[in-house]
Structure 1
Amino acid sequence: MAAKFLHNERRASAEADAASPCERHVEAVGSAMSRDPAPTKVDPLKGEQAAALDRDGYLLLRGAVPAAWRDGLRAAFESGVGTGDQWAAPRGAGWRHALVDLDPTVQRTCRLPPLLAAATSPCIAMAPA
């Protein structure tokens, strides 16, 4: 029984070593995101906000992200910037892409009620793909 366990452990280790950076990131994100944060209470958008989102296709949420978080968010982006070859799908030239979803401030930002309200708005849910 111990030999079988050791064999499976070695195989899992070899598979992990062979995983691409993208696959390892997906596994890490799944692990980090499986720690359920406390539920966030989200009120629907106000009527004029929903109308603007529906009409314009975007919504400016001025002041939604606390000013004290902004330097941390910039630092998370800068430290997560990667090269084009590390992504599973091709990235456009001249664009900077970063892996930021494991950063605690990014996670808190993604759970801000105004951002969640916009993301879950019926305008977004019913938009054509």
Structure 2
Amino acid sequence: MDNVQNPIIINQFYCEHNHNCPNKTSAVFVSDVSYTNIRGTYDTSSPPVHVACSDSLPCSNLTLSGVELHPTAQGGGKDLQEKILKKNPFCWKAYGTLMTDTVPPISCLLEGTPWKRVDDSQC
């Protein structure tokens, strides 16, 4: 990746042309997603990792391994450092595992599973 705006993103709050999207109860169930060997640079205008999952259907079993994302060195110096600090990885209702250390450090994933999913065929 080279100067990517959103290198790792799951966004169950997406709604076109509106920045105040409500937390939907009808979100798609997201599970068993792996990000492996993701390397490159990211644009510091947004966080390198943004995993925003629904309160009613949290993301589960997310796996990250070999993630190494560095900020693009535009501006440099103190300005770049301030942008990086404001754009830390973001997770909401996201359960998963880090298989390796990551760059930047991703400490926002929740451990375990949110609940046992009911088999739809039993309904």
How would you bin the TM-score normalised by the shorter chain?
under 0.3
Q: Which has the higher helix share?
A: 1
The alignment's TM-score, normalised by the length of structure 2, stands at: 0.19
Q: Which has the higher strand share?
A: 2
Give the structure, 1 or 2, with the largest relative contact order (CA under 8 Å, sep 6 or more): 1
Max Rg structure:
1
The alignment's TM-score, normalised by the length of structure 1, stands at: 0.19
